[in-house]
């Protein structure tokens, strides 16, 4: 009987953690969609890295945290920054040279052979890489931003909750049936 109690507590704990994780991912995805993929929490943003230009420090498919805000002229050599390129694409590269008192930055990806073609203007900088990296989570975040991923994100938690409910109902019915059988035996 003691093993059943421990097992019941473990499954309850795991299902609570799963439920909280699913709600968190759902919230982040909805907030990301509503804010145009620019969700900021306590001055930090989460970004997907989908190229290998910063390997081995930042792997392709990683999720990174960047610190936003502040003065765009505060960065120094060797800082890793995320910025809007002239094509409007978000890029995360290392500063190799500061020009014009912090008005422009020459950047380069760690895995690239040469510097980036154009210097980065201070006003195009989104934020500074904090050092927090979650490998492969960027692939998940990128997928959830797609139409198919968003649909799956809404359907999958529902299926899990229905499945968990069915298991709980079945377990409860078994216990009720067992109690009824015990009462019949005593009577």
pLDDT tens digits for 72-128?
Answer: 678 889 999 999 888 888 899 999 999 888 788 999 999 999 999 999 988 888 889
Tell me if 64 sits within 8 A of 132, measured CB to CB: yes
Write down the pLDDT at residue 31. Answer: 64
Task: Choose the catalytic residue: 15, 40, 51, 145.
Answer: 51
Write down the pLDDT at residue 94. Answer: 94
Write down the pLDDT at residue 16. Answer: 81
Q: What is the pTM of this model?
A: 0.63
Consecutive H or E run containing 107: strand 104-108
What's the average model confidence in pLDDT over 142-155?
Answer: 76
* Pairwise CA distance, residues 79 & 18, whole Å: 36
Reply yes or no on whether 12 is catalytic. no
Percent of the chain with pLDDT over 90: 12
Write down the pLDDT at residue 106. Answer: 93
């Amino acid at each position: 009987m003691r093993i059943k109690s421990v097992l019941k507590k473990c499954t309850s704990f795991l299902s609570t953690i799963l439920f909280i994780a699913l709600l968190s991912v759902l919230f982040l995805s909805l907030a990301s969609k509503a804010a145009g993929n620019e969700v900021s929490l306590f001055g930090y943003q989460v970004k997907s890295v989908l190229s290998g230009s910063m390997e081995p420090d930042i792997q392709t498919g990683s999720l990174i945290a960047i610190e936003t805000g502040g003065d765009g002229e505060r960065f120094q050599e060797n800082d890793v920054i995320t910025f809007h390129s002239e094509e409007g694409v978000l890029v995360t590269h290392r500063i190799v040279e500061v020009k014009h008192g912090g008005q422009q930055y020459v950047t380069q990806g760690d895995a690239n052979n040469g510097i980036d073609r154009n210097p980065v203007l201070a006003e195009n900088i989104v934020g500074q890489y904090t050092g927090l990296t979650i490998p492969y989570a960027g692939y998940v975040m990128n997928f959830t931003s797609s139409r198919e991923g968003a649909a799956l994100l809404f359907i999958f938690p529902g299926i899990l909750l229905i499945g968990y409910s069915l298991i709980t109902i079945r377990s409860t019915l078994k216990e009720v049936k067992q109690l009824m059988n015990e009462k019949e035996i005593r009577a």
